[in-house]
């Protein structure tokens, strides 16, 4: 005879009768403290919605739409904008290819990008920009599906090569060379374009330079060691603003007339140096986490110091250091905004100048909000990407429930 349960034995009769009321009582009003906290949260929520969220939709956003080109690319010549688009297409190509690693169907994020681009294309952009946007989305998906057809090993090499070439190629295309592409001077670069170029360069260069400094600091050669310690400690001991000001004001005075490189190069060098010093110490911490016995095992196999570093130590260090590296990357991305202080028109610099225009005086909140949103999307993408990477490499260290 089968025993049929009328009710879930773990639920009280009251819970079965009024599940919603029961939940509200149990979770929101079970004690005096809980009741007070619930009421407080509700008040805060009410204020947030009425004072912030609702006004957001009633704001006049023309300040953004009228200055969008400035915010994104600064004073980059209109008729040369296709060069910026070209770099974006190149990136889309390799994003598509990267997404196709170990996958046969596009991940959710690709559809998110597609939908965002389609929504953007509905807005009031010029025909050229609309076509360029759609081309970006198209390239992303085409390269994904081409990627799924390629052999894994071939694809890995292409993806790695593609990403390494991205920045040098972008600099080449965006700046141009006499005779081939008209030169666009760096003082015309601005907005998001400038912020991204500087921060991505510092991210890509700080890793190898930081690694060399970290290894140098651990070297048994006294001269190398002292030089590395000197560099790391002086650069790290000085605020980034000071380094930028030294490059901006003092370097031209110290060098003979006409020898000093452009402000862009000086700012870039400063940012790269600063982040390399930080990266060096972070990496040194990671290197110290590897047990001496790993070196001994490699040495006893006669691997030699370079191969030991490349095949045994670094793969373990970098894998473990993903959260630390992402931390540095996001802070590099955001710290770049300091270059606005030496008069460079990056994302922050250009918005300050937009808001100081009497015509847009009332739009400062909108501009700030838009900037914040841009930075958030960028940083969140980086950390999301790192989460995927960590999961793939199996280093989350999550405790399984």
Partner 1 sequence: MKADTQKEELIVFKDVHKWYTPEFEVLKGITHTIYRGEVSVIIGPSGSGKSTFIRTINALEEYQRGEIIVDGIPLDHNIKNINKIRSKIGMVFQQFNLFPHLSVLHNITLAPIWIRKLSKDEAETRAMELLDRVGVKAQALKYPNQLSGGEQQRVAIARSLAMDPELMLFDEPTSALDPEMIKEVLDVMTELADNNMTLLVVTHELGFAKAVADTVLFFDGGKIVEAAPPDEFFNNPKSDRTKLFLSQILNH
- Which of 48, 115, 123, 297: binder of partner 1 (CB under 8 A)? 297
Give the largest CA-CA distance in the chain. Answer: 101
Burial of 121 (0-12, 13-18, 19+ CB in 10 A): middle
Q: How far is the CB of 6 from partner 1 (least distance, A)?
A: 48
Distance CA 281, CA 9 (A): 58
Quote the least distance from Cβ 164 to partner 1, whole Å.
22
Does 288 participate in binding partner 1 (rule CB under 8 A)? Answer: no
**Cβ of 351: how many Cβ atoms within 10 Å?**
27
Among 104, 149, 220, 302, binds partner 1 (CB under 8 A): 302
Give dist(CA 283, CA 213) in Å, integer.
9
Applying CB under 8 A, among 17, 60, 233, 296 the residue interacting with partner 1 is: 296
Is 175 or 319 the residue whose CB approaches partner 1 more closely?
319
Q: Give which of 88, 96, 94, 95 is closest to 162, Cα–Cα.
A: 94
Under 8 Å between Cβ of 137 and 118: yes
State in angstroms the smallest separation of the CB of 314 from partner 1. 10
Q: Give the other-Cβ count within 10 Å of 319's Cβ.
A: 14
Q: How far is the CB of 291 from partner 1 (least distance, A)?
A: 8
- x/- binding map, residues 310-329, to partner 1, per CB under 8 A? -xx--xx--x----------
Query: Nearest distance from residue 312's CB to partner 1, in Å?
Result: 6
Shortest distance (Å) from residue 198 CB to partner 1? 33
Residue ranges in 12-71 that form contacts with partner 1 under rule CB under 8 A: none
Q: How far is the CB of 311 from partner 1 (least distance, A)?
A: 6
CA distance linking residue 357 with residue 195, whole number of Å: 22
* Residues whose CB falls within 8 Å of the CB of residue 165, separated by 6 or more in sequence, listed in order: none
Give the shortest CB-393-to-partner 1 separation in angstroms: 9
Nearer to partner 1 among residue 312 and residue 332 (C-beta): 312
Nearer to partner 1, 145 or 311 (CB): 311
At 61 the three-state DSSP class reads coil
> Do the Cβ atoms of 245 and 310 come closer than 8 Å?
no
**Binding-site member from 58, 149, 293, 398 for partner 1 (CB under 8 A):** 293
Task: Note whether 130 and 121 are within 8 A (CB).
Answer: yes
Q: Between 69 and 319, name the residue whose CB sits nearer to partner 1.
A: 319
Q: Is 74 helix (H, G, I), strand (E, B) or coil?
A: strand
Q: Which is nearer to partner 1, 260 or 316 (CB)?
A: 316
Q: CB-based burial of residue 68 (10 Å sphere; 0-12 exposed, 13-18 middle, 19+ buried)?
A: middle
> Closest CB to partner 1 among 84 and 312?
312
Per CB under 8 A, which region of 89-97, 158-166, 254-262, 296-304 contacts partner 1?
Answer: 296-304
**289 forms part of the interface with partner 1 (CB under 8 A):** no
Q: CB within 8 A of 120, min separation 6: which ones? A: 133
Q: Helix or strand or coil: residue 189?
A: strand
Beta-ladder partners of 346: 191
Sign of CA dihedral 47, 48, 52, 54: negative
C-alpha–C-alpha distance, residues 194 and 181, integer Å: 19
Q: Is 304 in the site for partner 1 (CB under 8 A)?
A: yes
Q: For partner 1, which is the closer residue by CB, 182 or 305? A: 305
Nearer residue to partner 1 within complex by CB, 51 or 292: 292
List the one residue from 303, 342, 374, 389 that touches partner 1 (CB under 8 A): 303
Supply the minimum distance, in Å, between the C-beta of residue 4 and partner 1. Answer: 45
Measured in degrees and rounded to the nearest 5, phi and psi for residue 63 equal: -60, -35
Q: In angstroms, give the least distance from the CB of 299 to partner 1.
A: 6
The answer to whether the CB of 173 falls within 8 A of the CB of 87 is yes
Q: How many residues bind partner 1 (CB under 8 A)?
A: 17
- Name the one range near partner 1 by CB under 8 A: 62-70, 206-214, 257-265, 291-299: 291-299
Binding site for partner 1 (CB under 8 A): 293-294, 296-304, 307, 311-312, 315-316, 319
């Amino acid at each position: 005879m089968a025993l049929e349960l009328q009710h879930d034995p773990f639920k009280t009769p009251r819970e079965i009768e009024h599940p919603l009321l029961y939940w509200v009582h149990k979770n929101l009003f079970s004690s005096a403290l809980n009741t007070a906290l619930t009421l407080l949260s509700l008040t805060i929520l009410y204020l947030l919605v009425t004072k912030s969220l609702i006004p957001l939709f009633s704001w006049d956003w023309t300040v953004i739409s009228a200055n969008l080109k400035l915010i994104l690319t600064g004073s980059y010549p209109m008729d040369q904008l296709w060069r910026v688009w070209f770099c974006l297409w190149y990136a889309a190509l390799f994003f598509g290819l990267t997404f196709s690693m170990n996958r046969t169907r596009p991940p959710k994020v690709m559809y998110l990008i597609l939908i965002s681009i389609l929504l953007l294309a509905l807005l009031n952009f010029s025909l050229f920009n609309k076509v360029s946007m759609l081309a970006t989305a198209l390239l992303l998906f085409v390269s994904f599906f081409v990627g799924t057809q390629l052999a894994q090993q071939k694809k890995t090499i292409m993806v790695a090569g593609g990403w390494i070439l991205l920045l040098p190629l972008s600099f080449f295309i965006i700046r141009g060379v006499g005779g081939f592409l008209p030169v666009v001077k760096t003082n015309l670069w601005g907005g998001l374009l400038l912020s991204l170029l500087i921060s991505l360069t510092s991210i890509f260069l700080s890793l190898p330079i930081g690694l060399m400094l970290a290894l140098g600091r651990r070297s048994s050669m006294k001269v190398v060691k002292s030089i590395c310690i000197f560099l790391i400690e002086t650069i790290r001991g000085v605020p980034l603003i000071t380094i930028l000001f030294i490059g901006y004001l003092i370097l031209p005075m110290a060098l003979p007339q006409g020898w000093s490189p452009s402000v862009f190069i000086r700012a870039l060098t400063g940012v790269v140096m600063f982040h390399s010093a930080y990266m060096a110490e972070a990496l040194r911490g990671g290197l110290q986490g590897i047990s001496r016995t790993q070196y001994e095992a490699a040495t006893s196999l006669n691997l030699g110091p370079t191969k030991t570093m490349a095949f045994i130590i670094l793969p373990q260090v970098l894998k473990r250091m993903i959260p630390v590296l992402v931390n540095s990357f996001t802070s590099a991305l955001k710290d770049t905004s300091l270059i606005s202080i030496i008069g460079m028109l990056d994302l922050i610099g250009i918005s300050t100048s937009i808001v100081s225009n009497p015509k847009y005086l009332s739009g400062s909140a909108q501009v700030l909000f838009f900037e914040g949103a841009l930075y958030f999307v960028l940083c969140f993408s980086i950390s999301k990407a790192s989460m995927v990477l960590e999961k793939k490499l199996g280093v989350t260290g999550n405790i399984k429930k």
